[in-house]
Each structure stands twice: as C-alpha cells, then as structure tokens.
Amino acid sequence: MGIENLQTSQPSNLTTAKIEDFLAQDEKKDLLRLLTAGSVDDGKSTLIGRLLHDSKRLYDDQLESLKRDSKRVGNAGEEIDYALLLDGLKAEREQGITIDVAYRYFATSKRKFIIADTPGHEQYTRNMVTGASTAHLAIVLIDARKGVITQTKRHSFLISLLGIKHVIIAVNKMDLVDYDQAIFDNICQTYMEFTTRLNIPDMRFIPLSALKGDNIVDAGPNMPWYHGPSIMHLLETIPVSADRNFVDFRFPIQYVSRPDLDFRGYAGRIASGILRKGEEVVALPTGKTTRVATIESMGKQVDYAFPPASVMVTLEDEIDISRGDMLVRKNNQPHVGRHFEAMLVWMDETPMDLNQQFIIKHTTQKVKARLDLVRYQIDVNTTHRSESAVLKLNQIGRVVLTASRPLLFDSYRKNRQTGSFILIDPITNNTSAVGMIVDRIDAEKLPSRISSRSGKELGRTLISREEREKQIGQTAKTYWITGLHASGKNELAYRLEHTLFDQGKTVVVLDGNELRTTLNQELGFNKADRDENLRRVAEIAKLLNNQGLIVIAVFISPDKATREQVREIIGAQRFKEIFVDTPLEVCKSRDKKGLYQKADDGLLDHFPGVDFEYESGTADLVVADIETIEISDLI
C-alpha cells in the first residue's frame, strides 16, 4: 500500500497515543469470512481483484506487478486483469481458471475480511466445499449473458447445504449486455424460483461489471436504474454476528493444562453459547455438575466469553475431564450417541468402501467410525435424489454412520461447530469426506451390514488354498457352533478343538466372548451391531480358511437370515453350522454370570431367549445333549 493510500485509512501526525488508539480500534473490528462461487469465467477472481484495487488495499509494487502480468499473460485485452491477483498457480494463469482455493485478507475502516476464491469447475467441488466450510457469506456470480446455469444451481445448493445464511447474487458482465435492466430482472426472478427449494434466508441481488468497476465500491454512471448498495457497502454492513448460536452453550475441551499441583485448567474454543463466571455447568459424558471458577481469555481474567473466543476455564470442583469432553448447561445438552445420519461430501480420489474403517474427527476428539449405509445420492445440479451403494469423488449423499464411542453432537442446522465432522482414512491419512449431521438415529433402526461386501479381491497370492491344504494335510473348514447363552456350545467347541488337535490338525477357535472384549469391543447388542460383529467374524473365518486352517466359531447368532449370510461369505462348501439345542430352563440353570436374571429384570435389552427370539432351522447338525454326543459325529 502506498503512502498516499495509508493516509486515507490512518490519521495524520501519528503519535504513539494515536497509533495505540488506531490499533485498539482495529482489534475490535469484527471479521467477515466470505467466498465467491459461480461458473467458470463468471469473473470471481476479477471481482475480488477489483474489490482490492478500488478499495485501495494494494501495495504499489503489487499494482505495478499486476500491470506487467496483465500485459504478459492477462486475458482482459488492454484492461488490467485483476484475476491475476488471485490466480497464483501456473496452470490457473495459463488456463484463465481457478483450480485451488485462494485466500486473501484485507480490512477497511469498518470490518476485516477473509476472502476465499473458490473454483467453478465441477471436478473441484471438494475445493469449493473447503472454502465454504467457515464462510459467513457467499457471493454467487452469474454471467449476465448466460443467466442461471447448471453451475450456478450446483454452487447454490452447496451453499445451502453448508448453512451459509447470507448470499449476494452478483450479476456480472453487465457491460457486455449494454447494462440492460430487463436481463438483470429476469435473472433475479429465475434464481429466486430455483432457490425456493433451498434454505437461504438472506439473498441480495446486485448488477455489476467487475472489469469496469460498476457497483464494486462505487455505483458508477452506467446503471442509473439500480438504486441499491454496492458490493463493498454490503460487505461492510451486512449483519453476521447475530448468526452465531448464543443460546446452546457448548465448550469442547481441547487441552487440559496441568503445569503444577495447584492448577488444572481446561482450554478450548467456545463453539456456541455464552460462558459466565460462577454459572453451573455439566461435564459430558460423565454428567458431573460443577461451577465455573475463572475464565481467562487473551491472558486476562474475564467475567464472560462467547464464540469464537478461545479460553482457559477452571472449575470449582475436581472432576474427571479430558480432551474430547464437553461443558454444557444442565437443561440444554447435545445428543449423546454413536449412531447418526449425515450429509456427506466425498473428497477422496478412492471411492467409498463400506467395509473400510475410518477415523471421525468431531469437535476436539477422534474416534473410529464406520459407514453403515448410503441412503441416497443427490445430484447437485438438479437436487434430485437417486439410489447409490457408494459415493465417489465430489459426490454428495445422505449416509448412516456409527462411531466406536458416543459423540456429543447437535444437528448441523442448529450448530455448525458441533454438527460438522471429517472422515479420515487411517492408512493414507487423507481427508476422505466432510459431513454435516442431520439427526441422531435410533439403534433399532440401523441397517444391517452383514451382506454389504465389496466383492473385490484385496490382495494377491501365488499360493492357492488347495496347495496350502495339501502341505498342512487338512481340508479348510469353518464349524459354526450356535445356541443360546449357557447352552454348552463353548464346551462343545473346545472338545472339538482338542479332538482335531490330537488328529494333527491346525485349528483356531473364535470365541464370541473374547472378540467382544477385544476386536469388536465398540459394538453394542442391537441387531445392526450384532450383524456387524458376525460380519467381521465371517470375514476373519474366510481369511483363515484361505490359509488352509480349520476354524471353530462360537457365537449365539440368533438371527436365521444372518447365519445364512455368514454361510455365503465363508462359502457353503466349507461351512458347517452346529446348533446346540439346549432348553431355555436348562440354560438358565447353568448361567453362572446371571445374565438371564438381569434380562428378566429389564437390565439387559435384546437378550436371546428372553426379549430377543432365537430363530432355529438352518443347522447342518443339531446337538441335543453335549454330554452324550460323539465328537467324531461333528467332524
């Protein structure tokens, strides 16, 4: 910025006191994050470049460099190509398009701004979502010659999906249509008709010419029929602070500070609501109640704080709180659960795999998660829904997810901070998807994943199963021993293992109790989690069979259809189901853990034989008495 430009924004005869006053006032300005969106060549980068130039926010050397670059690689003829201020990549300058998200910071006397210039190409949808994730306002550019096109609709849908409440529809290149008001009015009407299906509460329409400068900072003489504000006036005055959620207090703990024995503080950024000194708060997920002792912000003790402030909080009581926990109010709490539905934007080059495990980063915690189902995919160009088994790069759909432990969340429309998350591939560490939580889902309504298999080979080997079996001297097989709890199936399984071992066989026992406390410890006992437990076991058994090993799997597995699907996964030719048919009263008499009594008392849900039916009828062999059965009859 040149000296003459500095003088327009700072007082003359600067003294130390005046500089301090200026800096203090500058620090109090609020921050507006905005993005530009629109089709290719609608003038997004040009608009921002012109905005910086006309508001005198460029340094002299930047301006000289821009003039030189405009003559060398510009696409604006004799005019200055203001897009070059934003298009920094070589490919962007060569093609005259935006590929990556470009961020620019500037400030006026009224407000600070961070602008995200996002790409218009459909293949860069994920880049646009990245820029829009933190924006308060969006500027949607429309080429006055083309009107509302598919790209315009796609970006508007994404803006609505991401919860951006303020949208400026900038009808650009009015100079190329002779500043015709009728064209502008027709575009406004068409856009409003399309957005009736979207959730955009605040829309403003402005005709402009980014190249000529009309209605960017000043009105200009070419459109006397337009009496509204300029782009800059709207950016400086549009209210965004009220968009923050000051009602639902959420304070995710990011870090526990323990510098010495006398201090324990909890650091983090306030996601929503207002935190006040001395008020009662509840720590989730423990549910312990305490009061706020002190609040420290920017090195100073304060009486209250609100978003997006980062603070250090101390509490009156010593309670167990760690990273990922959350402070809330007693009568205003988020959902606590493992299962929820969300809108997902897939951002990975590799297509979605429902059998893959992910890491979900939500607020300040990371936990394992799985994708249960894609309910539907959305065509962002038409907003139409269609069935889809998986999502691919840049595709958007509604999905069902399950986390390995409970998350503390709100719906995205209610709270963007506690309603958003990302999915991370644990192997590549790439961000696979970004998501916006729609609502929680009851565990009983979860879809079964037992039959959701990728159908592709995950690895190659030069040794066939037959060759392995020949060398080991056995035929690979899975004995699936099923029955009620305490029916004696475990005793039968280990007797079978001992007999096979004595015969020189190599055998592995997969015990349901052991897997429930190790590999599958995060799974519950609703039908969906039971099915997921058995799906994993079936895949393990199949893998071990492929190595030529004999597997004995001991699981209650009460659902008939699920057992049939397990048979299909492992392969019917090497699967043998053995049902231990012990009467329920005998099982109860053998129950050393007292689980049947707990189920009868209502302390356990979905317990087979009590409130969950065991479906028989699929076994290859039924054992009525484990004491008299000859093990040789099982083999």
Q: How far apart are CA 124 and CA 121, in angstroms?
A: 6
- The pLDDT value recorded for residue 504 is 94
Lowest mean pLDDT among 110-124, 208-222, 407-421: 110-124
Burial of 383 (0-12, 13-18, 19+ CB in 10 A): middle
Q: What is the mean pLDDT of residues 611-621?
A: 91
pLDDT for residue 59: 59
pLDDT tops 70 at residue 434: yes
pLDDT beyond 50 at 8: no
**Does the structure show a pLDDT above 80 at 98?**
no
Question: For the residues 596-617, what does the mean pLDDT come to?
Answer: 90
- Stretch (H or E) spanning 516: helix 512-516
Q: At residue 494, does pLDDT exceed 60?
A: yes
pLDDT(42) > 50: yes
Average pLDDT over residues 205-233: 90
CATH T-level fold of 335-442: Elongation Factor Tu (Ef-tu); domain 3 (2.40.30)
Q: Does the domain spanning 251-328 belong to CATH 2.40.30.10?
A: yes
Quick check: 15 pLDDT over 80? no
User: Domain 465-633 has what CATH class?
Assistant: alpha beta
What's the confidence (pLDDT) of residue 3?
35
Pair of tokens at residue 400: 């069902």
pLDDT over 70 at 69, yes or no: no
- pLDDT by residue (tens digit) across 537-550? 999 999 999 999 99
Average pLDDT over residues 411-426: 93
Which of the four pLDDT bands, split at 50, 70 and 90, describes residue 45?
confident
- Work out the pLDDT band at 485, boundaries 50, 70, 90: very high
Query: What is the torsional sign of CA 629, 633, 634, 635?
Result: positive
Which is more confident, 386 or 71?
A: 386
Classify residue 453 by burial, with Cβ atoms within 10 Å: 0-12, 13-18, 19+: middle
Q: Residues 231-235: what's their mean pLDDT? A: 92
Instruction: Tell whether the model's pLDDT for residue 103 goes beyond 60.
Output: yes
Region 106-120: what's the mean pLDDT? 80
Q: Which residue has the higher pLDDT, 44 or 208?
A: 208
51, two tokens: 């905005």
Closest CA to 321 of 292, 343, 359: 292
Please compute the mean of the pLDDT values over residues 572-576 and round it to a whole number.
94
Q: Classify domain 3-243 at the CATH topology level.
A: Rossmann fold (3.40.50)
Domain residue limits, the chain? 3-243, 251-328, 335-442, 465-633
Q: Which two tokens stand for residue 170?
A: 């900038």
Q: What is the mean predicted confidence (pLDDT) over 267-275?
A: 95
Same fold, 3-243 and 465-633: yes
Has residue 624 got a pLDDT over 70?
A: yes
Q: Say whether pLDDT at 100 is over 70.
A: no
DSSP labels, 64-117: HHHHHHHHHH-SSTTS--GGGGT--SHHHHHHTS--S-EEEEEE-SS-EEEEEE
